[in-house]
Amino acid sequence: MPRKKSQKLWWKLKRGVELGAGVGDMLRRVLAAHHPALASFQLELLFKPDAKGPKPAIGTASKSSPRELLLSGIDGFITVSWAWWEKADTDHKEALLDHKLSHFDYHEKSGQLVLRPHDVEEFITVWKRRGPWTESLEQAERAIQPRLPMGRIDGESRHTATGAVEAAANA
């Protein structure tokens, strides 16, 4: 019987620990530094062969199903594109792990691991047209302002994902 698409991927996944101690050390370091509330949960870093599609996700965070938790003892998974990981520098790898770990949260009443959405959900084009029209967008602007050149956004200068300022050299 042919396998379903979702069934094909699992055997291509690699555990982070299989790829060397440095990968697991990095996850533990980011976890301890920025997500200590998650220390009691078993989180596993997995790598998939490649991210595909027009705007592929370089990583995902998922909570284990009750069956996965029962069989593996693992509470949650972070799955990352191996192709992206190989090209990324340490700062970007740690930023991705920090981001994915931020999707996990500790629910105090139940003691369970829960998933949380992004703090900000918006289209850049709407944000440009309308400005910070929600409280979460206002919070995002206040958080990002100190990281921008001259403390503001303008048409000439902008930060890239690496933190470098573009167009300033052409001014």
pLDDT digits over 33-87, tens only? 999 999 999 999 999 887 677 777 899 999 999 999 999 999 999 999 988 998 9
Q: Which two tokens stand for residue 86?
A: 């190989």
Instruction: Output the pLDDT for position 167.
Output: 35
* DSSP code, position 145: G
Average pLDDT over all residues of the chain: 80
Domain ranges of the chain: 5-115, 124-170
Q: Which option is the CATH number for 5-115: 3.90.1200, 3.30.2010, 1.20.58, 1.20.1270?
A: 3.30.2010
Instruction: Output the pLDDT for position 3.
Output: 46
Alpha-carbon torsion 105, 21, 19, 73, what sign? negative
Phi first, then psi: give them for residue 155, nearest 5 degrees. -70, -20
**pLDDT tens across 118-147, in order?**
999 899 999 999 999 999 999 999 998 888
Q: Name which residue leads in pLDDT, 60 or 151.
A: 60
The partner residues of 80 in beta bridges, in order of sequence, read 47, 59
Q: Name which residue leads in pLDDT, 16 or 56.
A: 56
